[in-house]
Amino acid sequence: MSNADSEQRVYDVVVIGGGTAGLSAALILGRARRSVLVVDAGEPRNAPAAHMQGYPSRDGMPPAEFLAVVREEVAGYGVELVRDRVTKAVPDGSGEFDVVLAEGGGVHGRRLVVATGLTDELPDVPGVAERWGRDVIHCPYCHGYEVRDEPVGVLYAPAAGIHQALLFSQLSHDVTLFLGAHGEDALTDAEWRLLAAAEVAVVTGEVADLVVTDDRLTGVRLADGRVIPRTVTVVAPRMTPNDSLLTGLGADTRDTPAGRFPAVDPTGLTSVPGVWAVGNATGPAEQVVNAASGGYRAGTAINMDLLLTDLEDRAAAATT
C-alpha cells in the first residue's frame, strides 16, 4: 500500500476502511471494472489476535496475512489502496461526495462505502488491555475451541449478562463467573438456575487485577487478596461503531442490544442516498465471514445503482 497522490481524483466508489468488509466491497467493484479507492487507516479490530477462526478455507490464518492476500487480489483488479484516514465526507450537492484525507488531500466519490469497523472499550481492570486478544478474549466462536478444557474466568458485564459464561461452559467444565462490583443481586433466579445447570461457579467480590506469570495469565485477583487460578479471562467490551463520518452525513441510527448502530438496509445502504455501510461499523455480530458477505452485497448494489444512473442519464440525453 502506498501513500498515493490522490488529490482531486474522481472515483466511482471511495471505500473508507480496508478491513475485510471494505476490501470485499472493493473486490467485487473492481471486478465490475469500477474505479475504486480504498482508504485504510490500517487498524483492523482483530489485529491483537494471532489467528482468525471460523472463516471457511482460512480457519486459523493470521488476520494480517488474510488481509494482505485480499489486498493483493483487490489490487489485481486495478483498485487503488492508500494508507490514510478519512477525516470528513461531505455531499457535493449533486448526490456525490467530497472526501477529505488526513494526509493525502481530497478525493471525490460518486458513491461511498463506510467500512470503518468498531471500537472495543475494555473493562477497566489492570491486565485486561495488556492481554487483549491473547488470553483475555470475548468471543466463544472466535477463540473458544482454542481454550477448551482450560480454567476460564468470565468477568460479568450487564450488557452480555451470563451468556458468555453459559457459552464457555460448553467448551470447558471449569468456568467461573466473577460478579465483581455488580454483586449477587445482578442475577435473576432464572439466571442462577441456568448457571447451576451449566455447573458454572460464581464468585462475588470486586476484581482487583489479572495475575500474570512469565507472560501467561495465571489468575484473577480479588480486592480481598484471593487469587482464583484461571488461564483465560472472558470480558464483554463496550462496542461502539466508528461512525463519525456517517453521523456527519446525517445517517439514521437504530438501537440494538449492544447500543446504537447505523441503520442500513439488507445491502448496507444507509438513510443517506449514495452511502453504504458494512461490517462491524453496522453491528457487533459481523464476524469476518459476515463482514466479507456484507461487503459483497454492498458492492453489487452499488454497481447496479451506478449502472442504472448512467443509463438513465444516457437515455435522457438521447431524447433531448
Ligand X SMILES: Cc1cc2nc3c(=O)[nH]c(=O)nc-3n(C[C@H](O)[C@H](O)[C@H](O)COP(=O)(O)OP(=O)(O)OC[C@H]3O[C@@H](n4cnc5c(N)ncnc54)[C@H](O)[C@@H]3O)c2cc1C
Of the candidate spans 45-53, 69-77, 158-166, 310-318, the one that interacts with ligand X by CB under 6 A turns out to be: 45-53
Of the candidate spans 12-20, 214-222, 226-234, 299-307, the one that interacts with ligand X by CB under 6 A turns out to be: 12-20
Task: Kindly state the smallest distance separating residue 189's Cβ from ligand X, in Å.
Answer: 33
Closer to ligand X by CB, 136 or 162: give it. Answer: 136
By the rule CB under 6 A, 44 interacts with ligand X: yes
Nearby residues of 163 by Cβ (< 8 Å), 6 or more positions away: none
Alpha-carbon distance of 209 to 180, in angstroms, equals 11
Closer to ligand X by CB, 176 or 242: give it. Answer: 242
**178 by DSSP, 3-state: which?**
strand
Closer to ligand X by CB, 208 or 270: give it. Answer: 270
| Torsion angles phi and psi, residue 90, rounded to 5 | -130, 140
By the rule CB under 6 A, 19 interacts with ligand X: yes
Alpha-carbon distance of 84 to 102, in angstroms, equals 6
Residue among 1, 9, 35, 54 that touches ligand X (CB under 6 A): 54
Binding mask 255-294 for ligand X (x = CB under 6 A): ------------------------xxx----xxxx-x---
Alpha-carbon distance of 266 to 280, in angstroms, equals 14
By the rule CB under 6 A, 303 interacts with ligand X: no
Closer to ligand X by CB, 228 or 263: give it. Answer: 263
By the rule CB under 6 A, 39 interacts with ligand X: yes
The 10 Å CB-count burial string (b at 16+, else e) for 196-217 is eebebebbebebbebbeeeeeb
Q: Environment class of residue 313 by beta-carbon count within 10 Å: exposed (0-12), middle (13-18) or buried (19+)?
A: exposed
Q: Which three cell numbers stand for residue 298?
A: 454492498
Closer to ligand X by CB, 40 or 174: give it. Answer: 40
Total length of the chain = 320
**Residues 56, 293: contact at Cβ < 8 Å?**
no
Q: Considering CB under 6 A, how many residues would be counted as binding ligand X?
A: 38
Closer to ligand X by CB, 33 or 216: give it. Answer: 216
Binding mask 120-159 for ligand X (x = CB under 6 A): x------------x--------x-----------------
Q: Environment class of residue 218 by beta-carbon count within 10 Å: exposed (0-12), middle (13-18) or buried (19+)?
A: middle
Which residues 86-125 are close enough to bind ligand X by CB under 6 A?
Answer: 86, 115-117, 120
By the rule CB under 6 A, 53 interacts with ligand X: yes
Closer to ligand X by CB, 145 or 192: give it. Answer: 145
By the rule CB under 6 A, 27 interacts with ligand X: no
Alpha-carbon distance of 137 to 232, in angstroms, equals 8
**Residues 303, 34: contact at Cβ < 8 Å?**
yes
Residues that bind ligand X (CB under 6 A): 16-22, 39-46, 48-49, 52-55, 85-86, 115-117, 120, 133, 142, 242, 279-281, 286-289, 291
